[in-house]
Amino acid sequence: MSKSESESRENNEIESENRILELAKSKPNGISNNDIKTEISNIPPEVWTKTVNKLLKTGVLELFKDKGVLLYKYKDPSKKTEVKGSDNEEKIVYKIIEEAGNKGIWIRDIRFKSNLNMTQLNKVLKSLETKKFIKAVKSVAASKKKVYMLYNLEPDSSVTGGAWYQDQDFESEFVDILNQQCFRFLEGKRESAIKLGGGPLMCRNRSYVTTTDVHKFISELGISKVQLSVDDIESILYTVVLDNKAERTVNSNGEYLYRAIKPFLDPPGVVRTTCGICPIVDRCGDSGLINPKSCKYLTSWLND
Amino acid sequence: MSAQQGLVVRLILLERFGDIVANVGEIIFQNPNSLYHIAKSTKVPLGKVKEALSILIKHNLASFKLNVDGITAVYTLNIKNVFLMLRFPKFINLIKTKFDEEVEILVEEILLKGCLTGSEVILKATARLQENKNISVLIQQLKDKFASLVTAKYVIKLSTPTMKEEDLFALPNIDLKKLLIVLNGGSETLSDAGVYWTINFDRFHQDLRDQLIVNAVTNKFDENIGELMRILLQQMYVRTAPWVPSSNPVPILEVKEILKKRNTHSQLITHFEQYVNILEQDSTGIIRKVGEASGGSYQIEMKHIFNQLVWETIEHIVNEKFDSKASRIFRLVRSRHYIEPEQIQNLVMIPAKEAKRILYQLLEENFLVVNELKRSAPNLGPNKSFTLFHIRLDQIIRNIMELCYKSLYNIMTRRQHEKYLNKRLIDKKQRVDTITHGMRVQGISGDPVLDIEEMITPPETEILNRIGKMLQKLSLTELQIDDTMFSLEMYLMYD
Ligand code: SF4
């Protein structure tokens, strides 16, 4: 695809979005596919159908059916959603949940604030949930507890656990990969600093990196589905330090600097035998089933 | 002193001196005892006990003092020295690299006998080396080499309470003419009879310690800094007693001069100041600048170095015994001294459940301890107590020592067991070897020798090879376990 073509396509998409929004705003009762076709005939169908899908997804348009015809209705995001067709109780609960913001609120606290009994409250919550006014989000803080918040809100990272949680589960593989990649980056820096030559001091100083450097590297790798912040990378880098694979110092701006390092020692002799790492060493003796003469661990280690 | 240690002591004595010495050693390991009591508890005849004790005393493995009754002697086992026997191969190797094969043989003979007079050492070494050599030249050489061992303090005079410090390394009077007479079968009283020499373990330990440090520094930085460290240590001795925790200042220019003269590490000479800077600025604090005059002078922080090395040793052990997540947690607790479980979970980036499991494991094996802190003002909020994780280094070191004893015991037991299982074959091989060796000495070669050699069938050879490898691996492991014990000992020495 040539450049001009792709540009015109982009223009098309922007125009299509504007025109459809205009149309929808002008008809509060909803617009049908036919309306769009006739009103913006200059835009090809494959473009505007894409636009409609996008708008539906972002919640700017709402889909509903009237007498067998599909209609799209404009939903003003700036206007507070009216809890239509709700009774008073629903309104009160809605308000309590709204106040809790994106941190959400526990059912116990809603009950406490609303003075409703449990059965009532459950009914109200269920109804609000089916109408998609609110949603229940599992909190990482306490595994079995749910918090409620407004439907369109993005839960706070204290609830989701931030980048490291996927549906409440800690993504330890993801963290491990990042840990390895961060170390790889530091190690690469160290090696290239050695290759560059110069005096040993320069060599050492060249092997230092800032968190921002590492952040850039990780972002460019594209291994992360979620956007990682510099702070996220800082946490990962600290685990590399704790693994004794890197050291951390502070530069004159108060920024952390990291550098790959090597240990003083190889694993000590005592853990190079099976006995040094044996999980049943306490039960191992001269007599009895577990003994060094017939031990299978030792046998396979000896035959290695 | 632990029961596990006692088991290893017994095995070591058993391997080198046999059953009776091992039994006697075991008794005096448990309790210092008089001759009569030893005989009674071991059920060994008195004469044999005396023999065993004299072997132990000659090797400096037992000592004695007058009992409270003022008549009998009480015998004690020198446990440390028993364990040192595991280190002999390292001592021999060290001497071989530092001197030459002839000096190695001198040291070997002394190690073998425990103690010898200078003349005896030379006689024994001559017996081993005399093939194709002019005897009088050889004994002159050996005498000189023995003298250099004494001057370098690798051997030391067996001391009596009345001996003065400076006499410990005074050269003996060795009369070569008399030696020659003895060598030719005559009898003669040797000039230095009664002046016994033994191995100065302390001196060997200094070398092993320095080697350990240089290797560690080389691993962490590079060859150049390793060499810098080596010369620093060498110059340390010029003005510092060997075992002080923090050396007297070493003028850095002195080190530079030596390096220039040797001219082995050109990089190090060109960027000398930079390398010194790197070593000094390292967070582990190996050397410390204490003076600015004439290029600066530096203290070597021995205590500090071994503190660092022992921590790293333990971290490695946690890593191998559990996994990398466990060592991550362990290092975090080390760096924070006291830390709450929630904080640990957040910082190590391990799923809460797994972190809990690891913490529990580390607690169970005593790598971590828990301190409960009661909140001081009970009327503020819920009366909660804090749980803080913490490390007790001394306790861990004790446990690792025990682990070393246990592993040593198991490995040695296994080695003896493998030997025992294949005893018939090993003995056969030995017999064949003796016979063929004898034939070759008599000048017989060709088919008759081959016939004898073929008594060991190919499958048997294969088994022998396999066993040989196995035994070698086990022996090597024993040496490696001793390495671990050595670094822990060094830490305790400076502690
Ligand atoms: S001999 Fe076997 S069971 Fe006993 S401690 Fe060693 S590895 Fe474990």
Q: Which of A148, A170, A192 represents a domain boundary (last residue)?
A: A170
* A82, part of any domain: no
With 60 as the cut, is the pLDDT of residue B152 above it?
Answer: yes
The verdict on A68 and A106 lying in the same domain is no
| Dihedral in degrees, nearest 10, Cα atoms A49, A51, A55, A56 | 20
- The answer to whether B307 and B487 have CB atoms below 8 angstroms apart is no
The verdict on A183 and A166 lying in the same domain is no
Beta strands in B161-259 (DSSP E): 196-199, 250-251
The verdict on B227 and B161 lying in the same domain is no
The verdict on B422 and B469 lying in the same domain is yes
The verdict on B244 and B320 lying in the same domain is no
Distance B402 CA to ligand 1 centre (A): 14
Number of domains comprising chain B: 5
* A30, part of any domain: yes
pLDDT band at A1 (very low <50, low <70, confident <90, very high): very low
Cβ of residue A298 closer than 8 Å to a chain B Cβ: yes
The verdict on B295 and B215 lying in the same domain is yes
The alpha-carbon gap from A274 to the nearest alpha carbon of chain B, in Å, equals 8
Concatenating the DSSP letter of every residue in B5-50 gives HHHHHHHHHHHHH-HHHHHHHHHHHHS-EEHHHHHHHHT--HHHHH
* B368, part of any domain: yes
Q: Which of A155, A170, A185 represents a domain boundary (last residue)?
A: A170
* B307, part of any domain: no
- Parent domain of A283: 271-302
Name every residue whose Cβ is closer than 8 Å to that of residue B29 and which is 6 or more positions away in sequence. B1, B6, B9, B10, B77, B79
* B305, part of any domain: no
* B90, part of any domain: no
Number of domains comprising chain A: 4
Map residue B384 onto helix, strand or coil: coil
Q: Residues B219-255: pLDDT tens digits?
A: 999 899 999 999 999 999 988 888 989 888 898 988 9
* A186, part of any domain: yes
- The answer to whether A93 and A121 have CB atoms below 8 angstroms apart is yes
Q: Which residue has the tokens 């000590």?
A: A268
* A297, part of any domain: yes
Distance B364 CA to ligand 1 centre (A): 19
* B92, part of any domain: no
- What's the whole-model pTM score? 0.79
pLDDT band at A7 (very low <50, low <70, confident <90, very high): low
Instruction: Assign residue A140 the CATH number of its domain.
Output: 1.10.10.10
Distance CA A34, CA B468 (A): 90
Distance CA B204, CA A132 (A): 80
The verdict on A243 and A166 lying in the same domain is no
The verdict on A157 and A202 lying in the same domain is no
The verdict on A198 and A256 lying in the same domain is yes
Per the document, the length of chain A is 304
- Parent domain of B358: 312-391
With 60 as the cut, is the pLDDT of residue B462 above it?
Answer: yes
Q: Which of A27-31, A227-231, A259-263 has the highest mean pLDDT?
A: A259-263
Closest alpha carbon to B236 in B308, B278, B298, B165:
B298
- The answer to whether B310 and B302 have CB atoms below 8 angstroms apart is no
Question: Can you tell me the ipTM of this complex?
Answer: 0.84
The alpha-carbon gap from A194 to the nearest alpha carbon of chain B, in Å, equals 11
* A266, part of any domain: no
Q: Which of B165, B183, B199 represents a domain boundary (last residue)?
A: B199
* A137, part of any domain: yes
Q: Which residue has the tokens 């060109």?
A: B270
Q: Which residue has the tokens 């040993």?
A: A200
* B193, part of any domain: yes
- Residue A171 token pair: 């993504």
pLDDT band at B213 (very low <50, low <70, confident <90, very high): very high
**Residues from chain A contacting residue B470 (CB–CB below 8 Å):** 302
Q: At what angle do helices B458-494 and B393-421 cross, to 10 degrees?
A: 160
Q: Which of A65-69, A161-165, B31-35 has the highest mean pLDDT?
A: B31-35
**CA B309, B311, B314, B318 torsion-angle sign:** negative
The verdict on B188 and B166 lying in the same domain is yes
Q: Which of A136, A170, A204 represents a domain boundary (last residue)?
A: A170
The verdict on B351 and B283 lying in the same domain is no
Closest alpha carbon to B50 in B68, B38, B65, B40:
B38
pLDDT band at B345 (very low <50, low <70, confident <90, very high): confident
Residue nearest to atom 2 of ligand 1 (CA): A295
* B15, part of any domain: yes
The verdict on B42 and B122 lying in the same domain is no
* A83, part of any domain: no
The verdict on B108 and B188 lying in the same domain is yes
* A204, part of any domain: yes
Work out the end-to-end distance of chain B between its first and last CA atoms, rounded to an integer number of angstroms: 19
Mean pLDDT of B19-43: 88
Q: Residues A98-117: pLDDT tens digits?
A: 888 878 888 888 888 888 88
- Rg of chain B's alpha carbons, rounded to an integer? 28
| Torsion region of B443: left, alpha or beta (phi above 0 gives left; psi -120 to 50 gives alpha) | left
Mean pLDDT of B347-375: 87
Instruction: Assign residue B15 the CATH number of its domain.
Output: 1.10.10.10
CA triple B408-B413-B414, angle to 5 deg: 100
Indicate yes or no: CB of B350 within 8 angstroms of CB of A295: no
* B318, part of any domain: yes
Write out residues with Cβ below 6 Å of ligand 1.
A 274-275, 278, 280-281, 284, 290, 292, 295, 297-298; B 410
pLDDT band at A156 (very low <50, low <70, confident <90, very high): confident
